[in-house]
Amino acid sequence: MTSLPEKTTRKLGLVIDLDTCVGCHACVVSCKGWNTENYGAPLSDQSPYGGDPSGTFLNRVHSYEVQPLATSALPHPSTQLIHFPKSCLHCEDAPCVTVCPTGASFKRIEDGIVLVNESDCIGCGLCAWACPYGAREMDAAEGVMKKCTLCVDRIYNQNLPEVDRVPACVRTCPAGARHFGDFSDPESHVSKLTAERGGMDLMPEQGTKPVNKYLPPRPKDRLDQPAPTGEIDILAPLLAPVIAEPTGFLLWLDRALEKI
Amino acid sequence: MHPAPSVITFTTLSGLGFGLLFWLGLGLPAITGWVAFTFLAVAYALAVGGLMASTFHLGHPERAWKAFRQWRSSWLSREGVCAVAALLVMAAYGAGLVFLDTRLVTLGTLGTVLSLATVFTTSMIYAQLRSVPRWNTALTPALLIAISLAGGALLAGQISAALILLPVAGVLQILWWVRGDTALQGSGTTLASATGIGGIGAVRAFEPPHTGPNYLLREMVFQVGRNHARRLRIIAFGLGYALPVLLVLLPFSHALAALAVLSHIAGILASRWLFFAEAEHVVGLYYGKR
């Protein structure tokens, strides 16, 4: 059924913290690893060691430069570099699902995860066209559409230790920039984070109602604040003598060393 | 969007084929026997040939039959259902014309409606996509239907209809181009809204996720030079709409009519290439490509 459910029981998704992400691409690698070795067709690479390498990824990290406007107080605001992981947002109003002619694409009623049934996918690519985020990629080797499954084969997997029952990208992130949880529960970790930090939707004007939220970067320390009057040596406190006159063992050591 | 030859051929040829079936279903021209067979054979070659071409870009053509299942929600599925229904109904209607020398009016009218529905559902596959602002307009079905009916009229020898429909299609084409040129801006989707970090300042794509290309870039990010596009628009307009009108205004001859049809097809192929090549998918914003 490619009609969307009216309401899902739970709303599983991710919170991605743009303030914390360091752009290490560990989530990209762990996602590719897990999803190549587990559910569905592997994520193939074409010419991985050749001159024109290319491959299927369900999660990619972009980097953006943001230049704040100069003001009289801050004539030279420093540029910010923001790393931006992007994967399927498991939209409530997922346009990729309704366009599917075969019913291969669907949104689960129980947890809201958007999945592809690969044995029904004809590889027409229309769902990838419908997604404004570029979350779906056709695998060049298998000819079927691949997308983030929210690691559906991890999060319910009783064979894994409980700590590992989160998406691979969340489990691996060394900076703690990715969080997994249920957005339908206002008391959940992800709901609270979204409320506290002003979690936002990507492309809200597209009307997709994404479940995943992005936390905006916090304001950075400013190096170009108005210069303080007088000279300040910022290293001075560190270079101040710890002990003015040695005593005891240090006094003996000092004298002994001088004799040599 | 990547201008895939299979999809360009498909939409152009099957649009023309269903346009011809539209007129044949109405009994225009009023033909039976071998003449009817010839007209129907041309229409089926175009419509079915186009549909076959469309399966070339599928990852799994052997599963194409599964695409008839989701007509409740999917325009692509509806198109498949309408196309097969139109072809079956028109086959029965055609059998009446060819073998029984009888025009089964109800069947023909149904075939005409289904042919029109096929072109409409095809156009809605594109028009429904908010992610491609240039396509996301009611002008898209209007333009594709006008082109199909005008081309069909040309092929069916309905000169007076063609003389109305070709200029209508030409005007719609210009409106579609003019609107399309500001569609992405008008959609409100920008790199700032795509990343949500525009509140800090001007956003610039600093580094793409990978140094190599990927499916998204190959499929949805195609950039065509502005001069190149302008020249192609002139060719598309001249060959697709203006020249066929001039040719059918001249005293009738079969050679001129054939030339008008060929010129129309060449112009529509150019127009359809631009339809894809100029269409900006918003995912390009993430790559700083728009």
Residue-wise pLDDT tens digits, B50-109: 888 888 889 999 999 999 999 999 999 999 999 999 999 999 999 999 999 999 999 999
Residue A19 has pLDDT above 70, yes or no: yes
Among chain A residues, the shortest Cα distance to B63 is held by: A122
Which of B11, B73, B134 has the highest number of chain A CBs within 10 A, making it the mutation to test binding with A?
A: B73
Quick check: B193 and A128 CB within 8 A? no
Mean pLDDT (chain A) is 92
At residue A250 the predicted structure's pLDDT band, cuts being 50, 70 and 90, is confident
So what's the pLDDT on residue A117?
96
Q: In this structure, are strands A105-107 and B202-207 parallel, antiparallel, or unpaired?
A: unpaired
Instruction: Kindly provide the b/e burial profile for residues A13-33, where b requires at least 16 CB atoms within 10 angstroms of the residue's own CB.
Output: bbbbbbebbebebbbbebbbe
Q: Once rounded to an integer, what is the mean pLDDT over residues A211-233? A: 75
- Is B216's Cβ below 8 Å from some Cβ in A? yes
At residue A238 the predicted structure's pLDDT band, cuts being 50, 70 and 90, is confident
Of A62, A8, A20, A9, nearest in space to A179 by CA: A20
Of B79, B100, B81, B77, nearest in space to B89 by CA: B81
Residues 6+ apart with CB under 8 A from A159: none
CB B64 within 8 A of CB A98: no
Of A91, A85, A116, nearest in space to A179 by CA: A85
- Is A144's Cβ below 8 Å from some Cβ in B? yes
Distance from CA of A145 to the nearest CA of B (A): 9
Cβ within 8 Å of A, B 221-280 = none
Q: Once rounded to an integer, what is the mean pLDDT over residues B258-280? A: 96
Distance from CA of A85 to the nearest CA of B (A): 9
Residues 6+ apart with CB under 8 A from A242: none
Neighboring chain B residues of A62 at a CB cutoff of 8 Å: 195, 205, 207-209, 286-287
So what's the pLDDT on residue A221?
66
Distance from CA of B225 to the nearest CA of A (A): 22
- Is A68's Cβ below 8 Å from some Cβ in B? yes
So what's the pLDDT on residue A133?
98
Residues 6+ apart with CB under 8 A from B41: none
CB B84 within 8 A of CB A114: no
Quick check: B196 and A202 CB within 8 A? yes
Q: Please give the distance of CA A70 from its chain centroid, rounded to a whole number.
A: 29
- Both structure tokens of A54: 């290319």
Quick check: A66 and B1 CB within 8 A? no
Nearest Cβ partner of A98 from B73, B191, B214?
A: B73
So what's the pLDDT on residue B54?
82
For residue A252, how many C-alpha atoms fall within 13 Å in the half-sphere facing its CB? 2
So what's the pLDDT on residue B88?
97
Q: Once rounded to an integer, what is the mean pLDDT over residues A185-197? A: 97
- Is A1's Cβ below 8 Å from some Cβ in B? yes
Q: Once rounded to an integer, what is the mean pLDDT over residues B206-212? A: 93
Among chain A residues, the shortest Cα distance to B81 is held by: A101
So what's the pLDDT on residue B142?
98
Other CB atoms within 10 Å distance of the CB of residue A44: 15
So what's the pLDDT on residue A222?
63
So what's the pLDDT on residue A230?
64
Bridge partners of residue A66, in order along the sequence: A80, B203
Neighboring chain A residues of B63 at a CB cutoff of 8 Å: 102, 120-122
- Is A82's Cβ below 8 Å from some Cβ in B? yes
So what's the pLDDT on residue B33?
93
At residue A232 the predicted structure's pLDDT band, cuts being 50, 70 and 90, is low
Q: How far is it, in rounded angstroms, from Cα B119 to Cα B106?
A: 20
The verdict on whether omega for the bond into residue B29 sits within 30 degrees of 0, i.e. cis, is yes
At residue A192 the predicted structure's pLDDT band, cuts being 50, 70 and 90, is very high
Quick check: B76 and A18 CB within 8 A? no
Quick check: B67 and A206 CB within 8 A? no
How many Cβ contacts (< 8 angstroms) between chains A and B?
Answer: 202
Q: How far is it, in rounded angstroms, from Cα B19 to Cα B26?
A: 11
At residue A143 the predicted structure's pLDDT band, cuts being 50, 70 and 90, is very high
Quick check: B203 and A65 CB within 8 A? yes
Instruction: Kindly provide the b/e burial profile for residues B139-160, where b requires at least 16 CB atoms within 10 angstroms of the residue's own CB.
Output: bbbbbbbbbbbbbbbbbbbbee
Quick check: B208 and A62 CB within 8 A? yes
Cβ within 8 Å of B, A 154-193 = none
Cβ within 8 Å of A, B 74-103 = 74-77, 80
Instruction: Delineate the domains of chain A, giving CATH numbers in brackets.
Output: 12-215 (3.30.70.20)
Q: Which helix (H) or strand (E) holds B25?
A: helix B5-25
Residues 6+ apart with CB under 8 A from B21: B43, B47, B86, B90, B111, B112, B115, B152
Cβ within 8 Å of B, A 36-55 = 52-55
- Is A95's Cβ below 8 Å from some Cβ in B? yes
At residue A229 the predicted structure's pLDDT band, cuts being 50, 70 and 90, is low
Quick check: A55 and B214 CB within 8 A? yes
Nearest Cβ partner of B76 from A65, A99, A145?
A: A99
**Model confidence pLDDT, tens digit, residues A66-92:** 998 888 877 888 889 999 999 999 999
Q: Which residues in chain A belong to E strands, given as ranges?
A: 12-17, 45-46, 54-55, 59-67, 80-87, 105-107, 114-116, 137-138, 145-146, 178-182, 213-215
User: Structural domain boundaries of chain B?
Assistant: 5-196+206-286
Task: Quickly list H helices, B156-200.
Answer: 159-180, 183-187, 191-195
Neighboring chain A residues of B220 at a CB cutoff of 8 Å: 128-129, 134
Quick check: B200 and A128 CB within 8 A? no
CATH number of B5-196+206-286: 1.20.1630.10
Quick check: A68 and B193 CB within 8 A? no
Q: Once rounded to an integer, what is the mean pLDDT over residues A143-162? A: 97
Q: How far is it, in rounded angstroms, from Cα B137 to Cα B73?
A: 19
Of B215, B210, B256, B263, nearest in space to B238 by CA: B263
So what's the pLDDT on residue A248?
86
Mean pLDDT (chain B) is 95
So what's the pLDDT on residue B253?
87
DSSP A228: P
3 state DSSP class of A146: strand
Quick check: A28 and B209 CB within 8 A? yes
A197: left (phi over 0), alpha (psi -120 to 50) or beta: alpha
Q: How far is it, in rounded angstroms, from Cα A82 to Cα A29?
A: 19
Q: How far is it, in rounded angstroms, from Cα B37 to Cα A223?
A: 82
So what's the pLDDT on residue B212?
87
Q: How far is it, in rounded angstroms, from Cα B140 to Cα B124?
A: 8
Which of A84, A119, A133 has the highest number of chain B CBs within 10 A, making it the mutation to test binding with B?
A: A84
